[in-house]
Amino acid sequence: MVYLTRKVEFSASHLYHNPALSPEENRRIFGKCNNPHGHGHNYVLEVTIAGEPDPRTGMVLDLKELKDILQREILDRMDHRFLNYEVPELAGKIPTTETIAMAIWQLLEPRINHRGQGQLHRVRLYETPDLFVDCIRNGQ
Amino acid sequence: MNVILHRRYRFSASHRLHQPGWSAAENRRVYGKCANEHGHGHNYVLEVAVTGPVDPSTGMITNLADLDAFIERHVLVEFDHVYLNEQVPAFRSLVPTAENICRVVYDRLRAYPHARLASVGLEETGANSFEYAGEFREKP
């Protein structure tokens, strides 16, 4: 098994607010992330594909194809957006790093795994260099 | 998929690699300049990974404020700007290599009540890094 990782960056804003909770409770749980005007990050996304290289090409999958999938599924949706309001997959959710990473996993998995070669192995999303979340295929 | 949250912390400390049961020559042979009598220091980067279900009401595996406070209270207060060999009781009888620091920190963090500890990583310098995953990797 070979693991291939591609990295992309996007910049977006978000806020943490649960309408089922009181303003005080939101402030207590989410702190300054509850600022109603939101705030932003430069997110760094690393996507890892696991697979056996195709003997004809030596590739697990064509990087150009992965680049196009990431552009279409992630960057076109999330780059320079307010995640709470502009990304349907995050509507009604708290767009924490965990939540965004899981949404990215759900978006990418069907686009990558149907090809029969290479499986989505890990989505790693950095909100800052000191805070990041991994979604890893079960059993790994 | 499994979701794992990683958070990085920093502390600066000095240490000396020295086994009191060995001769000076033996310590010098094994530990080289790390055995120098008066110790030396590093800017350590501690990487803590926790896992567990993501609470839909917060979007979080654990509230970072809780995690930060726990790490501060159980590790950083005692490890930052000290001489590890003398000032952290565990290292009075255990050589404070990065490997052993990882294990001591891991044992302290297992008590974290809000998520399951996945691993403890330690960068001693930009070139040397270590990771201890305890029972998590052995019995997934």
Residue A44 to residue A9: CA distance in whole angstroms: 4
Contact A103, A90 (CB under 8 A): yes
User: Where along chain B do its domains lie?
Assistant: 4-138
Contact A61, A114 (CB under 8 A): no
Bin B64: left if φ > 0, else alpha if -120 < ψ < 50, else beta: alpha
Q: How many residues make up chain A in this entry?
A: 140
**What's the pLDDT score for residue A140?**
52
Identify whether A80 is a catalytic site residue: yes
Q: Residues of chain B with pLDDT > 70: what percent? A: 96
Closest CB to A98 among B5, B9, B49 = B5
pLDDT in tens, B67-89: 999 999 999 999 999 999 999 99
Residue with tokens 């958070």: B7
Q: For residue A49, what are the β-bridge partners?
A: A4, A120
> Measured between CA atoms, how close is A96 to chain B, in angstroms?
6
Q: How many CB atoms lie within 10 A of CB B74?
A: 15
**What's the pLDDT score for residue B135?**
64
Model confidence at A139: pLDDT above 80: no
What is the pLDDT confidence band of residue A117, given thresholds at 50, 70 and 90? confident
User: Where along chain A do its domains lie?
Assistant: 2-136
Model confidence at B136: pLDDT above 70: no
Give pTM, 2 decimals: 0.92
> Measured between CA atoms, how close is A134 to chain B, in angstroms?
5
Where are the alpha helices (H) located in chain B, listed in sequence order?
24-31, 64-71, 77-79, 84-87, 98-109, 134-138
Model confidence at A99: pLDDT above 90: yes
pLDDT in tens, A18-40: 999 999 999 999 999 999 999 99
Identify whether B34 is a catalytic site residue: yes
| CA–CA distances in Å: residue A56 to residues A50, A104, A114, A117 | 17, 30, 20, 13
Q: Just give the CATH number of A2-136.
A: 3.30.479.10
Taking each helix axis as running N to C, give the angle between helix A63-70 and helix A97-113, from 0 to 180 degrees, rounded to the nearest 10.
Answer: 130
- Please give the sequence-ordered ranges of beta strands (E in DSSP) within A1-140, or none if there are none: 2-14, 39-51, 81-82, 119-128, 131-136
* Average of per-residue pLDDT across A3-15: 97
CB contact under 8 A, B59 and A93: yes
Bin A11: left if φ > 0, else alpha if -120 < ψ < 50, else beta: beta
The answer, for B77 touching chain A at a CB cutoff of 8 Å, is: no
CB contact under 8 A, A135 and B3: yes
**What's the pLDDT score for residue B80?**
98
CATH of B4-138, one of 3.30.479.10, 3.75.10.10, 3.50.50.60, 3.20.20.70: 3.30.479.10
Residue with tokens 């050589």: B95
CB contact under 8 A, A31 and B65: yes
Looking at beta carbons, which residues of chain B come within 8 Å of A98? 3, 5, 54, 59-61
Contact B72, B91 (CB under 8 A): no
